[in-house]
Structure 1
Amino acid sequence: MERLFNLRELGTNVRTEILAGITTFLTMVYIIIVNPAILSAAGVPFDQVFIATIASAVIGTLIMSLSAKYPIAIAPGMGMNAYFASVVATNGVSYQIVLGTVFLAGILFLLLSFTKFRETLIHSIPASLKYGITSGIGLFIAFIGLKMAGIVVPNAETMVSFGDLHQPVTILSLFGLFITLILIARKINGALFIGMLVTAVIGYFSGLLQFDGIVAAPPPPVFFDFDIGGVFSNGLYTVVFAFLLVTIFDTTGTMIGVAEQAGLMKNGKFPRAKSALMADAVATTVGASLGTSPSSAYIESSTGVAAGGRSGLTAFVVAILFMIALFFSPFVSAISSLPAITAPILIIVGCFMMEGLAKVNWKSFDDAFPAFAIILTMPLTSSIATGIAIGFITYPLMKLVSGKGREVHPILYVFGVIFIIQMIFFPAH
């Protein structure tokens, strides 16, 4: 182990790496509950999402561990799962078609990992758009969490209004939210997971949660349950681009952030970047072929780094723990069926994703407004793709009329024109 993962050179040891892996797993294991809860509501069979979530996490994290050798874990990303469900709902298409968009995005990500276009794309898109996209997704999934909890409900006159606090699920959701906030404020490792368990215990004793079992043999996987032809017949090109773009930004930003925290950056560069991005691209492609939304590097990996993790052994431990989780599908299924357990996580993760707003230059209107437009339109239209399109149209336009057109990379002008054409002639959510 020491030689395989260069533990001595990195100033770490097996015990530290194992503890770091356990720490990372506990902070992100909520995804095996939240992801099936969100995607099964969109029509994907629960067992299929459960297997796909764990399979993509294991495969992506193992590649990260053994090839890139970073203490970074991979799993289906938050935000993209909620967007997946909204595409199914707003476009009236089957989940197999939306899985087709994820598969195509994964293939494109794989191909881009071998070229310099990926780097050109990342560098061409300004910080205000990147932060606007992340923050918009944060508001989007927090809004979904509020609706799941019954804290906000539909209203014919005002679109939404405050919910009924006498409803048992809403009461339990609020309790789960506050107990998890307390755990986070106290800096407890695994606060999200522990908060879910505490809420589940209360739900069980209050009769809102029932178990048919805890442990069972893993359900059989379902392969290639996607419809690529439906992607083209329904004109879901913007959805493919949205999945691709957000996955690239989210993954790249998280990987660099965690690597910097661990002191693994070399002269400002990210070594073995191709292998690291390949881990995410493969996980996304495999996940789509089995039945889940795109994967991403998890910022929760930073908790493992804080616990001393410096090598791929940390990620290897995370992958092993995800494998063990395969045998707990009845337990996960029961917890996923009660919105009060998963809704607080969506709300809190939404808050985490707002951090980038502090980095937007709000004093520069031509930078601020496109970010604002993205943040505004994503939750109100229930479409990440629409928010991205609005941002890519308004940013080059604002810069052009402000006399700063030369600051904009030519790629953004191309994308701006494409999005205008798409929104006028081929509208898709």
Structure 2
Amino acid sequence: MFNLQANNTTIKTEILAGFTTFLTMAYIIVVNPIILSDAGVPFEHVFIATIIASVIGTLWMALFANYPIAVAPGMGLNAYFAYSVVGANDQIGYEIAFGAVFVSGIIFIILSLTPFREKLIEAIPANLKHGITAGIGLFIAFIGLRMSGLIVAHPENLVALGDLQSPPVVLTLVGLGITIVLMALNINSALFLGMITTGIIAFFTGQLRFDDGITSAPPSPEWFIFGSPLQAFVDVVQYGLYAVVFSFLIVTIFDTTGTMIGVAEQAGLIKNNKMPRVRQALLSDAVAKTVGSIFGTSPTSAYVESTAGVAAGGRTGLTTVTVSILFVLAIFFSPAVNAVSGLPAITSPVLIIVGSLMIGVVADINWKEFDEAFPAFLIILSMPLTSSIATGIAFGFISYPLIKLVKGKGKEVHPLVYIFGVLFLFQLVFLPH
């Protein structure tokens, strides 16, 4: 079913890759409810909705697309939901906002059923695709540095070196050193073994504690928080939420598309600038987003942390089946998941190392041609600095056709790149993001 032999992988490798991906993204189970609770959504509702959306999207990706790419509610999108959509407007409650997510999800599904998104992926120039992959690499490495405390905020220089004597930073450096040694020795499952070893050290040094126990009873899910599908469309019209729906739509399209390109390229799954079974892969996020809104969570996205599983050897949907199973188990082991995901030192070394592996594609960018190199450079630079994959892609889509036009090469640009260049410019200038 998963064509393990054709993809040069094994059951053991795929399962360990699934564990690696899950451990690097498990924080979303706790962080997403915390953020959405600021919009008034009950923590328990978001907790179970986060898991339901993640399981549905990730399983769809596994069974229909056979890709090692996990899907879950997206960071950034949840903050936009909580603070820009609900928090900034007293008339918009979270129920109405979930309706807007549902409407954008339905539009998303329709677009994914057409050749539109496939054509979009094919329309993205190869150098921009390499830039997206490298930008994602820097982005997740920066996430690892920031979450661990190795890099901290600075009032003048924005970022600075953290306290190298603090226990979390020391643990991160120890975990990074162990994982680097395992990688250098070409030991199988080096990333996973590095996390396990770091977790054991954290437990015996008192940094990893299970004060709330290991297991707990799961909360009951709620259906159609926004009332009904018809009510969702009525509310969008009544409250004029067109810009909100558009923002949810365009950000999720390019967050997911960019992440899929980056992960697939890292795994060697893109052939001749094309991604096999791309329609099924894109549908996974569209379906998860729609179902997630029904149960009460913000839009989903393909998860950049999937690169950790790919670096651990994951090449097929068996990796994401494993991730889905672990999400289901997390319903019953939420205190343990909370404890592990609350200690970034366990997962940060993996993100830093995976970032170093992904940045290698910069060698494939045509640096000799300014009109090809500069848009790719903008993507690479802006993704970590704006903490947004979609914003990085936006800068690339805006600058690429402009420079081509100035150089008299406008006919080389696909019409879709022009269209989305204009849409991105409009979104960045006039809409909240």
Q: Which amino acid aligns with 1:278?
A: L
Q: Which amino acid aligns with 2:384?
A: P
1:76 aligns with 2:80: no
Q: Distance in 1 between matches of 2:275 and 2:142?
A: 35
Q: Which amino acid aligns with 1:415?
A: F
Maintained 8 Å contact 2:124/2:417: yes
Q: Distance in 2 between matches of 1:191 and 1:223?
A: 41
Maintained 8 Å contact 1:21/1:316: no
Residue 339 of structure 1: how far off its partner (Å): 3.0
Q: Distance in 1 between matches of 2:241 and 2:43?
A: 27
Q: How many residues align?
A: 407
Deviation track 1:80-138 (CA, whole Å, cap 9, x = no partner) reads 84433664698586595987776566434321222122222122221222332333333
Q: Distance in 2 between matches of 1:135 and 1:232?
A: 35
Q: 1:131 to 1:171 in 2, by over 3 A?
A: same
Q: Which amino acid aligns with 1:34?
A: Y
1:428 aligns with 2:432: yes
Q: What is the root-mean-square deviation of aligned Cα atoms in Å? A: 4.1
Which ranges in structure 1 are unaligned for 5 or more consecutive residues? Answer: none
Q: Distance in 1 between matches of 2:154 and 2:364?
A: 35
1:168 aligns with 2:190: no
**Identity %, equivalent residues:** 47
Q: Distance in 2 between matches of 1:218 and 1:6?
A: 31
1:220 aligns with 2:215: no
Q: 1:410 to 1:52 in 2, by over 3 A?
A: same
Maintained 8 Å contact 1:236/1:428: no
Report the counterpart of residue 29 of structure 1 in structure 2.
22
Q: 1:147 to 1:279 in 2, by over 3 A?
A: closer
Report the counterpart of residue 140 of structure 1 in structure 2.
139
Q: 1:59 to 1:304 in 2, by over 3 A?
A: farther
Q: 1:413 to 1:280 in 2, by over 3 A?
A: closer
SS at match of 1:195: helix
Residue 282 of structure 1: how far off its partner (Å): 1.9
Report the counterpart of residue 406 of structure 2 in structure 1.
401
Maintained 8 Å contact 2:26/2:341: yes
Q: Distance in 2 between matches of 1:138 and 1:286?
A: 30
Maintained 8 Å contact 1:251/1:280: no
1:282 aligns with 2:282: no
Residue 373 of structure 1: how far off its partner (Å): 1.4
Residue 388 of structure 1: how far off its partner (Å): 2.5
Report the counterpart of residue 56 of structure 2 in structure 1.
59
SS at match of 1:154: strand
Deviation track 1:2-35 (CA, whole Å, cap 9, x = no partner) reads xxx498xx979xxx97546533423322145233
Deviation track 1:260-294 (CA, whole Å, cap 9, x = no partner) reads 59xxx9x9987755444433432343345443652
Question: Which one of the candidate residues 294, 299, 306 is aligned to 2:300?
Answer: 294
Q: Which amino acid aligns with 2:381?
A: L
Report the counterpart of residue 397 of structure 2 in structure 1.
392
Q: 1:238 to 1:189 in 2, by over 3 A?
A: farther
- TM-score using structure 2 length: 0.76
Q: 1:253 to 1:152 in 2, by over 3 A?
A: closer
Q: Which stretch of structure 1 is more off in the superposition, 118-127 or 367-376?
A: 118-127
Q: Distance in 1 between matches of 2:312 and 2:220?
A: 33
Which ranges in structure 2 are unaligned for 5 or more consecutive residues? Answer: 88-92, 227-231
Report the counterpart of residue 208 of structure 1 in structure 2.
207
- TM-score using structure 1 length: 0.77
Deviation track 1:324-377 (CA, whole Å, cap 9, x = no partner) reads 443321110111222323433443343344343232211111011111112222
1:330-369 matches, cutoff 5 A = 330-369=335-374
Q: Which amino acid aligns with 1:194?
A: L
